[in-house]
DNA sequence: GGCGACATGATTGTCAACAATCTTGTTGAA
DNA sequence: TTCAACAAGATTGTTGACAATCATGTCGCC
């Protein structure tokens, strides 16, 4: 299906995504083609291709002859993205069949169990992966592939915003409880509560982001 | 700002977009790199770059070693896209300040005037361009750049669907009247009617598409 | 010392040749 | 006739070298 260079390419893309969500790569940080091509043993062309994909994903920004930098959101921009995410996730929540199909509930239970285990074990990387999976499965069930796709798109774009929340144990507990509540509402068929929770759920990481950016106005925004 | 090859690249992209909206390029039709590179006097590399952009735009589909084809929507897929568009445009309509700023109304009046002139002159290309502009300006006024961007994204993706409507004089008259009504509602501050019209406005081209695809189930969809 | 012109190194952008892959047509045997 | 194996042509994918551009440091002049 996929040839080998595609695999390598995805490897690089995932690696950069990881670096962004865990804050190892900071907003506006430069990404050098030579550096990465050497580190990952791939041609500069492939790195460039990866940049192009990441650019379209909205994770990095490219300017002619100046290369790629990690995308930066001003607080205002971040707020607008979150408003849109709230709209989309609310609509998706309204479109999920209810009471939810047993198949969906089973998968969510499984993911939630693994999520709790990873959280207890302090395995942040696995927590993050399972969190992605949980959201993907929930909103993938909305019966509109483009709605699901768009939710996923902005889920990825906000990796760099959510990185301020990833390490906070209090937020992790919140996530876990809210995920459990989502499953409960789905099982009980409590649509109103479910929709509201899907909307409210996204804002806590944004609050963390705002706190981190509080005070300083965005410097060299137009540079 | 932009270097020359970027200009050429955009030229090719716009040309392909035009070919899709006017139905000169049909869904699932192949796009050959050599052919285009010769026709536009550019390197195959640049054509390939353009394909990549068009792929991300959702206008063409690429499969490894099989090249690029014009994207095809099944009727079901098209319906889902239109549902999402309805959601997004409705929300944008709700967010436009009302009564609308004079500046916005002036720009819309201008575009509408030019639109009518082009329609009377039978200049379809200009009609299309002004139609794009009208929608861009309206939804750009929603005060959320990502909402506007996403509306635009699906506006472009549905070029290939709307192509079935572009030549129909009756639909052209409808468009013109509905645009006039939108401006009127904006001016009068009639939000309810405005929102409803923004949602309803999109469906007529989809009906034309459904009629064109009526009967035959989508062949070789998974090939 | 301050400032602009120039030189240098670092980085990205472009291209054309070569390799890999797919598609199509042909042949020959069952 | 039908089918599989093979061959030839068409098309896409990859690479390395070279060109263009940008950022930084240096020098001489005022």
Same structural domain, A79 and A183 = yes
Per the structure, the complete domain to which residue A14 belongs is given by 4-70
SS3 B134: helix
Does the beta carbon of B144 lie under 8 angstroms from any beta carbon of chain A? yes
B176-210 b/e with 16+ CB inside 10 Å = b?
Answer: beebeebbebbbeebeeebbebbbebbebbbebbe
Judged by a CB distance cut-off of 8 A, whether residue B32 touches chain A is no
Structure token pair of residue B145: 């750049």
Q: What is the predicted pLDDT for the residue at B10?
A: 87
Instruction: Verify whether the Cβ–Cβ distance B144 to A6 is below 8 Å.
Output: no
For nucleic chain C, give residues with Cβ below 7 angstroms from it: A 3, 30-34, 44-45, 48, 62, 64-68; B 3, 5-6, 42-46, 64-66
User: B138 lies in a domain?
Assistant: yes
Co-location of B26 and B85 in the same domain: no
- Of the three residues A70, A85, A102, the one that is the final residue of a domain is A70
Neighbours of A153 (CB within 10 A): 17
Encode chain B (223 residues) as per-residue pLDDT tens digits: 345 567 778 889 999 999 999 999 999 999 999 999 999 988 899 999 999 999 999 999 999 889 999 999 999 999 999 999 999 999 999 999 998 999 999 999 999 999 999 999 999 999 999 999 999 999 999 999 999 999 999 999 999 999 989 889 999 999 999 999 999 999 999 999 999 999 999 999 999 999 887 655 444 443 3
Q: Does B33 touch chain A (CB under 8 A)?
A: no
B220 part of a folded domain: no
Nearest to A144 among B80, B146, B150 (CB): B80
Distance CA A66 to C1' D30 in A? 35
CB-based contact B44:B38 (threshold 8 Å):
no
Residue A21, domain member (yes or no): yes
Q: Are residues A29 and A102 in the same domain?
A: no
A122 occurs within a structural domain: yes
DSSP assignments along chain A, one per residue: ---HHHHHHHHHHHHHHHHHHTTSS-TT-EE-HHHHHHHTT--HHHHHHHHHHHHHHTSEEEETTTEEEE----HHHHHHHHHHHHHHHHHHHHHS-SSPPHHHHHHHHHHHHHHHHHHHHT-HHHHHHHHHHHHHHHHHTTS-HHHHHHHHHHHHHTHHHHTTTTT-HHHHHHHHHHHHHHHHHHHHT-HHHHHHHHHHTTHHHHHHHHHHHSSSPPTTTT-
Are residues B199 and B89 part of one domain?
Answer: yes
Query: Would you state the pLDDT for residue B7?
Result: 76
Question: Which B residues in the span 43-102 are in contact with A, Cβ-Cβ below 8 Å?
Answer: 52, 56, 64, 77, 80-81, 83-84, 87, 91
pLDDT in tens, A69-110: 999 999 999 999 999 999 999 999 999 999 899 999 999 999
Q: Are residues A181 and A117 in the same domain?
A: yes
Distance A44 CA to C20 C1' (A): 20
Q: What does the alpha-carbon distance between residue A207 and residue A171 come to, in Å, rounded to a whole number?
A: 11
Which of B70, B99, B115 marks a domain boundary? B70
Q: Which residues touch strand D (CB under 7 A)?
A: A 3, 5-6, 42-46, 64-66; B 3, 30-34, 44-45, 48, 62, 64-68
Whether A126 maps to a domain, the answer reads: yes
Q: Is residue A153 part of a domain?
A: yes
At B162 the pLDDT is: 93
> How many Å apart are A45 CA and C8 C1'?
26
Q: What is the CATH number of the domain that holds A79?
A: 1.20.120.530
- Nucleotides of C strand lying within 7 Å of any protein CB atom: 11-17, 20-23
- For chain A, what is the domain count? 2
B53 and B106 part of one domain: no
* CA-based nearest residue to A35, from A50, A18, A22: A50
Same domain assignment for residues B161 and B93: yes
* pLDDT tens track for A146-183: 999 999 999 999 999 998 898 899 999 999 999 999 99
Check whether residue B21 and residue B88 sit in a common domain.
Answer: no
Q: State which residue has its Cα closest to the C1' atom of D20.
A: A65
CB A105 within 8 A of CB A187: yes
**Alpha-carbon distance B48 to A45, whole Å?**
13
| Residues 6+ away with beta carbon under 8 Å from B145 | A77, A80
- Whether residue B81 is found in the same domain as residue B108: yes
Nearest by CB: B147 against A64, A84, A145: A84
Chain A CB contacts of B84 under 8 Å are 144, 146-147, 150
Instruction: Measure the CA–CA gap between A156 and A160, rounded to whole angstroms.
Output: 8
Determine the Cα–Cα distance for residues A136 and A159; give it in Å rounded to an integer.
Answer: 14
Residues in chain A within 8 Å Cβ distance of B77 = 145-146
Q: Judge if A130 and A55 occupy the same domain.
A: no
User: Which tokens hold the place of A25?
Assistant: 């790569």
Rounded to whole angstroms, how far apart are CA atoms A114 and A108? 10
Asked whether residue A218 is assigned to any structural domain, the reply reads no
Q: How far are the Cα atoms of B36, B43, B57, B158 from residue B50, in angstroms, in the given order?
A: 10, 11, 10, 18
Tell me the C-alpha distance between B117 and B135, whole Å.
17
Q: Are residues B51 and B83 in the same domain?
A: no
Tell me, in Å, how far CA of B34 is from C1' of D8?
Answer: 19
Residue A14 burial (CB < 10 Å; 0-12/13-18/19+)? exposed
Q: Is residue B173 part of a domain?
A: yes
Rounded Cα–Cα distance for residues A111 and A179 (Å):
10
- pLDDT, tens only, A179-214: 999 999 999 999 999 999 999 999 999 999 998 876
The pairs formed by A170-173 with CB atoms below 8 angstroms and a separation of 24 or more are: A171/A204, A171/A205, A171/A208, A172/A119, A172/A127
Query: Tokens 């100046």 correspond to what residue?
Result: A66
Query: Among the three residues A25, A46, A70, which one is the final residue of a domain in this structure?
Result: A70
CA-to-CA distance for B174 and B118, rounded, in angstroms?
A: 15
Q: What is the pLDDT, as a whole number, of residue B73? A: 93
Check residue A4 and give its pLDDT: 58
pLDDT (0 to 100) of residue A173: 94
Closest chain B CA to residue A57: B56
- Tell me, in Å, how far CA of B160 is from C1' of C23? 27
Q: What is the CATH number of the domain that holds A19?
A: 1.10.10.10
- Strands B60-63, A67-70: pairing kind: unpaired
């Amino acid at each position: 299906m996929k040839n080998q260079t595609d695999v390598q390419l995805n490897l690089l893309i995932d690696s950069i995504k990881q670096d962004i969500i865990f804050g190892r790569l900071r907003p506006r940080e430069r990404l050098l083609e030579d550096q990465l091509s050497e580190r990952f043993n791939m041609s500069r062309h492939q790195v460039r291709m990866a940049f192009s994909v990441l650019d379209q994903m909205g994770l990095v920004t490219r300017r002619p002859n100046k290369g790629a930098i990690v995308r930066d959101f001003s607080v205002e921009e971040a707020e607008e993205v979150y408003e849109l995410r709230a709209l989309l996730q609310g609509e998706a929540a309204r479109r999920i069949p209810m009471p939810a199909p047993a198949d969906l509930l089973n998968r969510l239970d499984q993911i939630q169990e693994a999520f709790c285990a990873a959280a207890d074990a302090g395995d942040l990387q696995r927590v993050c992966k399972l969190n992605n999976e949980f959201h993907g499965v929930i909103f993938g069930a909305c019966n509109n592939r483009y709605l699901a796709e768009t939710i996923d798109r902005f889920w990825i774009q906000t990796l760099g915003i959510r990185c301020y929340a990833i390490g906070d144990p209090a937020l992790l507990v919140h996530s876990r409880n809210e995920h459990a509540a989502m499953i409960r509402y789905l099982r009980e068929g409590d649509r109103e509560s479910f929709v509201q929770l899907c909307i409210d759920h996204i804002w806590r990481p944004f609050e963390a982001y705002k706190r981190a950016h509080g005070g300083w106005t965005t410097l060299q925004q137009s540079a």
